[in-house]
Amino acid sequence: MGNAVVQLHVVDWAIVLIYIAFMLFVGFYFSKKQQGFDDYFMAGRSLTAPLLVGTLVSTFYGLDTLFGTSEVGFYEGVSAFFAYSLPYTALYVVMAILAPKFKEIFPDGTTMQEIAFKKYGKTTGVFTSIAAFLYSTNTMEMMGIGFILNLITGMPIWIGTLIGAVLVLVYTWTGGLWAVTMTDFIQFISMMITVGIALIIGWKAIGGYEGVFEGLIEWTGSAEDASYFFSAGAGYLSPWTLVSYGITAFAVLAEPAFFQRVFASSGPKEIQKAFTAGVPMWLSFDWCVTFLGIIGAAAIGLGIIPEVEANQALFAICGQYLPVGLLGVFLAGVLAAAMSTADSYFLVSGGVIGYDIYKGVINPDATSEQVERMTKLGMLASAVFAIALTFLFDAIMEVWVFQATIILSVALVPVYFGAFSKKPPKKIAGVLSTGVGLAASIIWYIWSNFFGTWSDDWEVYLVRIGNVELWQEHGILIIVPLVIVIYLIANAVGKVTVEEAA
Amino acid sequence: MGWNVTCYIMGAISIIGPICLIFWYVKGAKAQLANLNKKDD
What ipTM was reported for this prediction?
0.90
Pair A414, A487: CB distance under 8 Å: yes
pLDDT at A75: 86
- Out of B14, B24, B28, whose CB is closest to A288? B14
Pair A183, A171: CB distance under 8 Å: yes
**Cα A8 from Cα A36, distance rounded (Å):** 42
Consecutive H or E run containing B27: helix B2-40
pLDDT digits (tens, 9 = 90+) for A22-73: 877 887 787 777 677 877 888 878 888 998 988 888 777 777 777 778 888 8
B24 and A287 in contact by Cβ < 8 A? no
B15 and A193 in contact by Cβ < 8 A? yes
Mean pLDDT of chain B: 87
Residue A501 binned pLDDT confidence (cut-offs 50, 70, 90): very low
pLDDT at A502: 42
Residue A67 is classified by DSSP as I
Pair A387, A144: CB distance under 8 Å: no
* Of residues A117, A125, A130, A120, the one with CA closest to residue A429: A120
The 10 Å CB-count burial string (b at 16+, else e) for A190-212 is: bbbbbbbbbbbbbbeebebbebb
pLDDT digits (tens, 9 = 90+) for B8-33: 999 999 999 999 999 999 998 888 77
- Out of B6, B12, B18, whose CB is closest to A189? B18
Residue A237 binned pLDDT confidence (cut-offs 50, 70, 90): low
Minimum CA–CA partner of B32 in chain A: A48
**A231 close to B (CB below 8 A):** no
For A359-390, the DSSP string reads IIII-TT--HHHHHHHHHHHHHHHHHHHHHHH
* Of residues A295, A318, A319, A296, the one with CA closest to residue A307: A296
β-pairing verdict for A468-471 and A460-465:
antiparallel
Mention every residue, 6+ apart, whose C-beta is less than 8 A from residue A28.
A171, A174, A175
Pair A63, A341: CB distance under 8 Å: yes
**Cα A110 from Cα A114, distance rounded (Å):** 7
pLDDT at A115: 94
**Cα A63 from Cα A399, distance rounded (Å):** 13
- Residue A340 confidence (pLDDT) above 90: no
For A403-452, the DSSP string reads HHHHHIIIIIHHHHHHHH-SSPPBHHHHHHHHHHHHHHHHHHHHHHHHHS
Pair A357, A114: CB distance under 8 Å: no
B13 and A230 in contact by Cβ < 8 A? no
Residues of chain A in contact with residue B17, where contact means CB-CB under 8 angstroms, are 192, 277, 280-281, 284
Q: What region does A133 belong to: left with phi over 0, alpha with psi -120 to 50, or beta?
A: alpha
pLDDT digits (tens, 9 = 90+) for A399-451: 777 888 899 999 999 999 999 998 899 999 999 999 999 999 999 988 888 88
pLDDT at A205: 92
pLDDT at A233: 66
- Out of A54, A196, A291, whose CB is closest to B15? A196
Does A363 or A314 have the greater pLDDT score? A363
Does A136 or A333 have the greater pLDDT score? A136
Minimum CA–CA partner of A78 in chain B: B3
A288 and B17 in contact by Cβ < 8 A? no
Minimum CA–CA partner of A194 in chain B: B15
- Residue A250 confidence (pLDDT) above 90: no
Consecutive H or E run containing A455: strand A453-455
Mention every residue, 6+ apart, whose C-beta is less than 8 A from residue A479.
A405, A409, A437, A440, A441, A444
Rg (C-alpha) for chain B, rounded Å, is 18
Put simply, the chain B residues between 12 and 41 with a CB less than 8 A from any chain A CB are 12-15, 17-19, 21-22, 24-25, 28
- Residue B1 confidence (pLDDT) above 70: no
Residues of chain A in contact with residue B25, where contact means CB-CB under 8 angstroms, are 48, 50-51, 185
| Cα angle A369-A371-A374, degrees, rounded to a multiple of 5 | 110
Residue A265 is classified by DSSP as B
Of A144-153, A235-244, A345-354, the one with minimum mean pLDDT is A235-244
3-class DSSP state for residue A33?
Answer: coil
**Cα A90 from Cα A282, distance rounded (Å):** 11
A196 and B13 in contact by Cβ < 8 A? yes
Mutation site, B3, B4, B14, interface A, largest A CB count within 10 A:
B14
**B5 close to A (CB below 8 A):** no
Mutation site, A56, A181, A195, A200, interface B, largest B CB count within 10 A:
A200
Pair A356, A129: CB distance under 8 Å: yes
3-class DSSP state for residue A114?
Answer: helix
Q: How many other CB atoms are found less than 10 A from the CB of residue A416?
A: 15
pLDDT at A124: 96
- Out of A48, A189, A203, whose CB is closest to B22? A189
Tell me the average pLDDT across A158-181: 84
pLDDT above 70: percentage of residues in chain A: 93
Tell me the average pLDDT across A266-282: 91
Mutation site, B10, B19, B26, B27, interface A, largest A CB count within 10 A:
B10
Mention every residue, 6+ apart, whose C-beta is less than 8 A from residue A414.
A116, A119, A120, A124, A128, A425, A429, A430, A433, A434, A487
- Out of A51, A230, A280, whose CB is closest to B3? A230
pLDDT digits (tens, 9 = 90+) for A105-114: 999 888 999 9
How far A288 CA lies from chain B's nearest CA (Å)? Answer: 6
3-class DSSP state for residue A468?
Answer: strand
Residue A319 binned pLDDT confidence (cut-offs 50, 70, 90): confident
Mention every residue, 6+ apart, whose C-beta is less than 8 A from residue B21.
A50, A53, A54, A185, A188, A189, A277
Report the Cα A3 to chain-centroid distance in Å: 29
Report the Cα A269 to chain-centroid distance in Å: 25
Mention every residue, 6+ apart, whose C-beta is less than 8 A from residue A286.
A65, A69, A81, A85, A88, A89
**Cα A190 from Cα A432, distance rounded (Å):** 45
**Cα A401 from Cα A395, distance rounded (Å):** 10
Could you tell me the pTM of the whole model? 0.84
Torsions phi, psi for A238 (to 5 deg): -70, 160
3-class DSSP state for residue A497?
Answer: strand
* Of residues A298, A113, A95, A138, the one with CA closest to residue A208: A298
**Cα A86 from Cα A241, distance rounded (Å):** 16
